[in-house]
Chains A and B, each alone.
Chain A
Amino acid sequence: MTSKEPVAVVGIGQTKHVAARRDVSLAGLVREAAVRALEDAELTWADIDAVVIGKAPDFFEGVMMPELYLADALGAVGKPMIRVHTAGSVGGSTALVAANLVAARVHGTVLTLAFEKQSESNAMWGLSLPVPFQQPLLAGAGGFFAPHVRAYMRRTGAPDAIGSLVAYKDRRNALKNPYAHLHEHDLTLEKVQASPMLWDPIRYSETCPSSDGACAMVLTDRAGAARSPRPPAWVHGGAMRSEPTLFAGKDFVSPRAGRDCAADVYRQAGVTDPRREIDAVEMYVPFSWYEPMWLENLGFAEEGEGWKLTEAGVTELDGDLPVNPSGGVLSTNPIGASGMIRFAEAALQVRGEAGDHQVEGARRALGHAYGGGAQFFAMWLVGDTPPTT
């Protein structure tokens, strides 16, 4: 068995994420991100061997299998095109499927893209189609996750204010990211704390927006990376894990699938102390309290200690372990693309190309995504040098 081909990220493109892109079709939206990724890599459509696309449920735009219609816009005609769908983790899973095509030496250079154009339809109702024996309506994702946040607070004794600290931090970080959806220049911590309670204990300013947007990456092999005009980000580890939605043994506060997934990625990357060895984290935090929860789930803090890192400012942009320097899902949430944005932003950090939200000297960064009822996980760890194993 020959070893895997190293995988490099050589192109990244995003749209400016906004509430509604009424000026472009679905095809126009995805093409914008793809063209930017190609320009970043200084490649053309002819250099792309395959396209791997992801998005969340088709009901969000009301188009069944939209990749069929998007084949032309993404230069896929005559090429292989595969569509991944793993709920909210899909942006991450899509990048991993694309990376595997390179790692397995099936293709040399692959375009991967994830998108959501929520303004074409209504995501909340897209998720609220009643079937027998299930809750017909949970009033959006917040209604599902709020009890688990409450369980975390009770379990760890975290003070009520932690969630607002995360939201205030991420929204300030977003001001430094030109592609972020929410640019709230006059936001204060007091305003976050005074915002309406939506699903106790989750306040309006602690929830993600609904965005239109797309994110694309060009992944390539060692030879492709050697031709890259800008520094590549190298994939040091990647994994997916899934567990059932509902069963008696499930820990919604710290799902085992998340812990197992992180452990697999760290094993592949040779990371034994993530808190010390990882320089930046792009974490899927759709509701602010998930930052301290995932800090524990991903092994950055002992059980019950995650909120202390947040409270101490460790996760601030200038902290010891910056989390979501881009502003994260709390500032930008085109659902199907949100996971890929995490992966792409991690890659931007180790390429030194993150602009005003660059973490000084970032050499290893984690991209993280989750979805469903906190049951699907996808993560990758990228570095500024090729993997040695």
Chain B
Amino acid sequence: MTPHRPARDVAIVAFAQSDHRRRTDELSEVEMVMPVLHEVLRQTGLKTSDIGFTCSGSSDYLAGRAFSFTMALDGVGAWPPISESHVEADGAWALYEAWVKLLTGEADTALVYAYGKSSPGSVRDVLSRQLDPYYLAPLWPDSVALAALQAQALVDAGHTDEPALAAIAGRSRADAAANPHAQLPGARPQGEYVVQPLRTGDCPPVGDGVAAVILAAGDRARELCARPAWIRGMDHRIEAHSLGVRDLTDSPSTRLAAERAGAFERPVDTAELHAPFTSQEVVLTRALGLDDSVRINPSGGALAANPVMAAGLVRLGEAAARIHRGASDRALAHATSGPCLQQNLVAVLEGDPRA
């Protein structure tokens, strides 16, 4: 698989996110989204009417109602009417759709946002509804149990052990201490088993949150951002749904997406990996061939804040923000969807060379 060269220079020029919290009972989805949209627009000075294309990611099943995204759109202020679309998936895929739109040349800027409120229901049970509806979903296998299957397979294969998983948990939350938006910042105990071999510390927090980014092409990106995070490549791949036909210790879809995105052409200095479970970080770092020279999840990752449907977009935003700040020159960002890393997206972001 040879890397795909994008036909146009497109960059992430702004990123904003909410504080991710265990519950937000007092806020509607629109009330959660609005401050983040205002913040990301403020960073660029753009108004809704300046945006060429808008795309969002969310899930009706989290919201508990059909067409839940329509209310958030009302909050965007789609008047006069806007060019707009929505994916029923993590906002990382909304960013992908927007990137393709910019590559066609039909728009020069795009607003991408995603949100998820996990608090109204039991997210472990809700996610079980995305499994094969005839054979698997009726058994209600929950997301932690499925991740534990994967973790045990990794341990059995000798790719990791419980102390190594605990070290990932400890590093992530220690890093999150510097992230004002994180839900679980700072060191905390690994705790009891949730589903063996996964302990509380190996699992993500359940929480509510929002993320938004602005994309811009070419000179427009340079006008809007001092150091744009150029998208050098982006690709996503899906694997078979049934866990029984997959090697859960590997992630060929991540590797394929990374190849196509050009991730292996030169080393990256930073990787923001969407790994809600410590064991999944093991799978991803192996698939991507990341070594100790790469700073993994300096934000704390999904172990510190996992707003379902926004957590992948947060990875892209965090990686871009590091380039904006000059803390990274070439970063990899990853997002996942589906049980046990079924679907994976990889983007390679670069800053302009520094003088």
Q: List residues of chain A with CB under 8 Å of any chain B CB.
A: 1-4, 25-26, 56-66, 68-72, 76-87, 93, 97, 100-101, 103-106, 120, 126-127, 129, 131, 239-247, 249, 255-257, 260-261, 372-373, 375-376
30 A-B contact pairs sorted by A residue (CB < 8 Å): A1-B8, A3-B105, A4-B104, A4-B106, A26-B133, A58-B59, A64-B61, A64-B129, A65-B88, A65-B130, A65-B337, A68-B238, A68-B343, A70-B241, A72-B242, A81-B343, A82-B87, A84-B85, A85-B88, A97-B97, A97-B100, A100-B106, A103-B104, A104-B101, A127-B66, A127-B67, A241-B82, A249-B79, A256-B80, A376-B84
A58 touches which of B61, B78, B256, B342 (Cβ 8 Å): B61
B127 touches which of A61, A64, A120, A243 (Cβ 8 Å): A64
Chain B residues with CB under 8 Å of A85's CB are 69, 86-88
Pairwise interchain contact A61-B133, C-beta atoms closer than 8 A? yes
Chain B residues with CB under 8 Å of A260's CB are 80-81
Bound CA–CA A63/B59 (angstroms):
11
Bound CA–CA A240/B66 (angstroms):
21
- Judged by a CB distance under 8 angstroms, whether B122 is at the interface is no
Bound CA–CA A81/B88 (angstroms):
12
Chain B residues with CB under 8 Å of A240's CB are 83-85
Q: What 4 pairs between A and B have smallest CB-CB spacing?
A: A57-B66, A257-B81, A104-B103, A242-B84
Nearest Cβ in chain B — how far from A320, in angstroms? Answer: 30
Pairwise interchain contact B88-A245, C-beta atoms closer than 8 A? no
Pairwise interchain contact B130-A68, C-beta atoms closer than 8 A? yes
Pairwise interchain contact A97-B241, C-beta atoms closer than 8 A? no
- Judged by a CB distance under 8 angstroms, whether B240 is at the interface is yes
Chain A residues with CB under 8 Å of B252's CB are 78
Q: Identify which of A63, A69, A245, A260 gathers the most chain B CB atoms within 10 Å of its CB.
A: A69
Bound CA–CA A81/B343 (angstroms):
9
Chain B residue with the shortest CB-CB distance to A255 = B81
Nearest Cβ in chain A — how far from B173, in angstroms? Answer: 29
Pairwise interchain contact B67-A372, C-beta atoms closer than 8 A? yes
Q: In the complex, which residues 28-64 of chain B have their Cβ closer than 8 Å to any Cβ of chain A?
A: 54, 59-61, 64
Nearest Cβ in chain B — how far from A308, in angstroms? Answer: 27
Q: In the complex, which residues 245-296 of chain B have their Cβ closer than 8 Å to any Cβ of chain A?
A: 252-253, 256
Nearest Cβ in chain B — how far from A169, in angstroms? Answer: 30
1/0 per residue, CB under 8 A from A, across B77-120: the answer is: 11111111111110001001100110111100000000000000
Extra contacts, 14 of them, besides A82-B97, A84-B97 (Cβ < 8 A), are A4-B106, A57-B67, A63-B137, A64-B61, A64-B129, A76-B238, A85-B86, A87-B67, A126-B66, A241-B81, A245-B71, A260-B80, A372-B67, A375-B73
Chain A residues with CB under 8 Å of B127's CB are 64
Pairwise interchain contact B60-A71, C-beta atoms closer than 8 A? no
Bound CA–CA A160/B339 (angstroms):
54
Bound CA–CA A58/B126 (angstroms):
12
Given known contacts A68-B130, A127-B67, A105 and B86 CB-to-CB distance under 8 angstroms: no
Pairwise interchain contact B86-A86, C-beta atoms closer than 8 A? yes
Interface residue range, chain B: 35 or more
Bound CA–CA A131/B68 (angstroms):
10
Pairwise interchain contact B66-A77, C-beta atoms closer than 8 A? no
Nearest Cβ in chain B — how far from A22, in angstroms? Answer: 13
Pairwise interchain contact B85-A246, C-beta atoms closer than 8 A? no
Pairwise interchain contact B126-A64, C-beta atoms closer than 8 A? yes
Q: List residues of chain B with CB under 8 Å of any chain A CB.
A: 4, 6-8, 54, 59-61, 64-67, 69-71, 73-74, 77-89, 93, 96-97, 100-101, 103-106, 126-127, 129-134, 137, 235-242, 252-253, 256, 337-339, 342-343
Nearest Cβ in chain B — how far from A261, in angstroms? Answer: 8
Chain A residues with CB under 8 Å of B97's CB are 82, 84, 97, 100
B78 touches which of A2, A84, A101, A244 (Cβ 8 Å): A244
Bound CA–CA A64/B84 (angstroms):
23
Nearest Cβ in chain B — how far from A269, in angstroms? Answer: 14
Pairwise interchain contact B256-A78, C-beta atoms closer than 8 A? yes
Chain B residues with CB under 8 Å of A255's CB are 81
Chain A residue with the shortest CB-CB distance to B257 = A80
Chain A residues with CB under 8 Å of B133's CB are 26, 61-63, 66, 69, 120
Chain A residues with CB under 8 Å of B242's CB are 72
Chain A residues with CB under 8 Å of B4's CB are 106
Nearest Cβ in chain B — how far from A240, in angstroms? Answer: 6
Given known contacts A78-B239, A243-B81, A69 and B131 CB-to-CB distance under 8 angstroms: yes
Bound CA–CA A304/B81 (angstroms):
23
Bound CA–CA A288/B70 (angstroms):
25
Chain A residue with the shortest CB-CB distance to B128 = A64
Chain A residues with CB under 8 Å of B241's CB are 68-72
Chain B residues with CB under 8 Å of A4's CB are 104-106
Given known contacts A68-B130, A69-B130, A87-B67, A106 and B61 CB-to-CB distance under 8 angstroms: no
Pairwise interchain contact B74-A68, C-beta atoms closer than 8 A? no
Bound CA–CA A154/B273 (angstroms):
58
Bound CA–CA A244/B54 (angstroms):
13
Chain A residue with the shortest CB-CB distance to B105 = A1
Chain B residues with CB under 8 Å of A242's CB are 54, 73, 78, 81-84
Chain B residues with CB under 8 Å of A86's CB are 84-86
Nearest Cβ in chain A — how far from B335, in angstroms? Answer: 12
Bound CA–CA A64/B87 (angstroms):
13
Given known contacts A244-B73, A260-B80, A83 and B87 CB-to-CB distance under 8 angstroms: yes
Pairwise interchain contact B74-A80, C-beta atoms closer than 8 A? no
Bound CA–CA A131/B117 (angstroms):
15
Bound CA–CA A80/B66 (angstroms):
26
Bound CA–CA A242/B132 (angstroms):
33
